[in-house]
Chains A and B, each alone.
Chain A
Amino acid sequence: MKKIHFREWTVPSPRYWGVFAVLAAIVGVGLISALYMEHEGHWVTGMNNQIVWGMPHVFAVFLIVAASGALNVATIGTVFGKKPYKPLGRLSGLLAIALLAGGLMVLVLDLGRADRLMVAMTTYNFKSIFAWNIILYNGFFVIVAAYLYTMMEPKAKKYYFSVGVLGGIWRLILTTGTGSIFGFLVARMAYDTAILAPLFIVMSFAFGLAIFLLFLFFAFDQDGREIGGKLLFRLKNTLGVFVAGVALLLLIYHLTKLYGTKYHGVEAFILRDGGVYTVLFWVGQVVVGLLLPIAIIIHPTLSRSKGWIAGASAMVVLGGLAAMYVIIIGGQAYPIEMFPGKTVIASGFFDGVHGQPNYYAPSLPEILLGIGGFALAILATTIGVRMLKFLPADLSDEALDPHAGLKTGN
């Protein structure tokens, strides 16, 4: 195998600064939105006392889940010793840190008392999975930063494997923690199941890899670097396996729920009667997020085109956002069943009168904040690849190990 060289992103300055300016502007708009919501209070959002987590949480949870998945590429290279993935490790780590930062920005700026972040960092209730997540997120930053250091600094190379293993394990725990935020909520019919943790883990694999591929393609296209057909083949197959994994876990989740009679109400809501949530589930989460990408990936000719693979990745991202919307908001829209066997016929506080779902319409500032977090992640990654040697100079088949290139799939 030839030695892999890394080089800064060498697009011409005007183009770099153009990308920079656009992303920075989107981040800026997101921050202004957050400031507006913080100043006015949450009444300017679509969130209310029934739907307490809204659009910011859709984006934040998506980004946090994707962050841990983005690290997957590096883990495959380090822990499982897949050589073609090793040159991608640096970008994988960088993107993971950036996505987590973007997600946390959204999450933190949506807090009712964002000014008390210090309290959240210093006062812990260790029975809370949320508190554990704060520790897991902070640890993730530190470990991935160290991981990147072992990749980029020859003197630290001897720690590369062990730090890589730690990172791999840590991110699995992190996504388990994120999934458990919902899984442990016994009160709500849509959650209350341990299967949300593994579901979130496979989702993280798929979302993270999809964003990784989109960024890789974009960056390589812009400064004319080459990605070999064999590597591409591997990567898209990996994405296919992950997306299929999501489909499987999603199927198990709904089958489990359908089996228990007490969950029939919520299942009927999401799958059949939920209006916008039902549409988002079938069209967004299932068709766009799972079926179409799988179809593209297994298609004999389309799957050879970088453009189509990018398209499939974009669909996985969109489907992922839809999935988050269905899980987070759809899960709250279905009224809590406090009185099994009885119908609420009147309530002074929206208890799902005659089974009516809780109402939520996302407001513009919420959406802008979410997109701002996304933009922050991409902006940070863009700055990173411009300033330091994160991107491999060449990923053509000749540049990579010919033996590794012969093995197809993963």
Chain B
Amino acid sequence: MSSNNESIDRKRRSFLGKAGAAVATTVVAPGVVLHAAAPRSPEQPVTDAVRWGMLIDANKCASGCSDCVQACEEENGLNLVQMPEGADPEEWARQRPRWIRQIQLQDNLTGQVTTLPMMCQHCEEPPCADVCPTGASFRRADGIVMVDRHICIGCRYCMMACPYKARSFIHEEVEEKPTHTPRGKGCVESCNFCVHRLDNGRTTTACQDACRHQAIVFGDLKDKNSPVAKALESVKSRQIRADLQLNTGVRYSGV
């Protein structure tokens, strides 16, 4: 709870700062409305005034470091998923869920090596949501692509459709799970930008907090003053599989 209050305060401070700036701007140029979404109250539904997104700087991402992966697993209870008794460890490695993973690439021509974390890219036009027969796979108004496990029937068509292999199917009964990340046999899941944090007023994801190299910047893409928007404005970035025109919420630089 205390951390919760802190983050609300932090947000309020930044909001007051913005309000001050807005006042200053209106003096200079009346009629100009700066984009500064007020923090959402807990009773209000999320809106498209916010779009959560991320910039990953592959130049900063360190080879062999798995801090973001570990942090994600702890935050979302993936580390609580046990290998079923009698399972083959090698096969289980292919069946266990993972929301974020590290990938290392080598350029075929130049031999240059790039390291980056890969997860759900939170597309504006998510193929997973398009193909989902029941609408369980959906994009929230604030840009987060997630699964409504209550109506997921476990058909895995979304996993067939995802260009980023971002999704995992839960292959077994799960004994222990965190309150904020329910999980059960037979449904599909993937990175949700730590949605429970955002809904409770926090503004960071677990992977971002864990990254010692500041390779991950997260925030509201629509807020021109957010670190992520500023970073995206100043560095060259790209979408993975930009040819599909999905307008991803996760962008990469140095790839």
Contact = CB atoms under 8 A, between A and B. Distances in A.
- Within the complex, are A and B direct neighbours (CB within 8 Å)? yes
Interface stretch (A114-122, A149-157, A366-374, A384-392): A114-122
B191 to A, nearest CB: 12
B105 A336 contact: no
Interface string B157-185: 10111111101111111000000000001
A301 interface: no
A134 to B, nearest CB: 6
A188 B157 CA distance: 12
A130 B186 CA distance: 18
A187 B127 contact: yes
A348 B69 contact: yes
Contacts of B105: 339, 342-345
Nearest to A328: B160
Nearest to A48: B94
A350 B159 CA distance: 14
Interface stretch (B37-45, B95-103, B202-210, B219-227): B95-103
A186 interface: yes
B114 A342 contact: yes
Contacts of A341: 107-109
B244 interface: yes
A131 to B, nearest CB: 4
A184 B172 CA distance: 30
Interface in A109-128: 111-114, 116-117, 119-120, 123-125, 127-128
A336 B165 contact: yes
Nearest to A43: B171
A332 B161 CA distance: 11
A47 B103 CA distance: 23
A116 B98 contact: no
B102 A346 contact: yes
B20 interface: no
Contact of A124 (B97, B134, B164): B134
A185 B161 contact: yes
Contact of A342 (B92, B107, B133): B107
Interface stretch (A14-22, A49-57, A168-176): A49-57
A209 B169 CA distance: 37
Interface in B204-255: 240-241, 244, 255
B162 to A, nearest CB: 6
Contacts of B188: 112
B107 to A, nearest CB: 5
A347 interface: yes
A124 B95 CA distance: 28
Interface in B124-170: 127, 129-135, 151-157, 159-165, 167-170
Given A43-B84, A48-B91, A112-B152, A345 B106 contact: yes
A211 to B, nearest CB: 26
Nearest to A133: B133
B104 A359 contact: no
Contacts, number: 180
B7 interface: no
Nearest to A134: B133
Given A112-B153, A129-B131, A359-B94, A344 B170 contact: no
Interface string A82-124: 0000000000000000000000000000011110110110011
A209 B227 CA distance: 63
Interface in A339-368: 339, 341-351, 359
B186 A338 contact: no
Given A128-B130, A342-B106, A49 B163 contact: no
Contacts of A113: 152-154, 186-187
B113 interface: yes
B131 A347 contact: no
A180 to B, nearest CB: 10
Given A112-B186, A128-B157, A348-B103, A41 B172 contact: yes
B104 A336 contact: no
Contacts of A47: 95, 171
A359 B94 CA distance: 8
B192 interface: no
A342 B170 CA distance: 30
B95 A119 contact: no
B66 A348 contact: yes
15 contacts: A42-B172, A43-B84, A43-B171, A113-B154, A116-B152, A124-B133, A124-B135, A130-B132, A187-B162, A338-B163, A339-B240, A342-B114, A343-B105, A347-B102, A347-B104
Interface of B: 66, 69, 84, 87, 91-92, 94-98, 101-109, 113-114, 118, 127, 129-135, 151-157, 159-165, 167-173, 185-188, 240-241, 244, 255
Closest 4 CB pairs of A and B: A112-B154, A112-B186, A348-B101, A187-B163
Given A123-B134, A339-B240, 16 more contacts: A40-B84, A43-B84, A43-B87, A49-B165, A49-B168, A111-B153, A111-B155, A112-B155, A112-B186, A116-B154, A130-B133, A131-B133, A187-B163, A347-B103, A348-B69, A349-B101
Interface of A: 40-43, 46-50, 52-53, 111-114, 116-117, 119-120, 123-125, 127-131, 134, 181, 184-188, 332, 336, 338-339, 341-351, 359
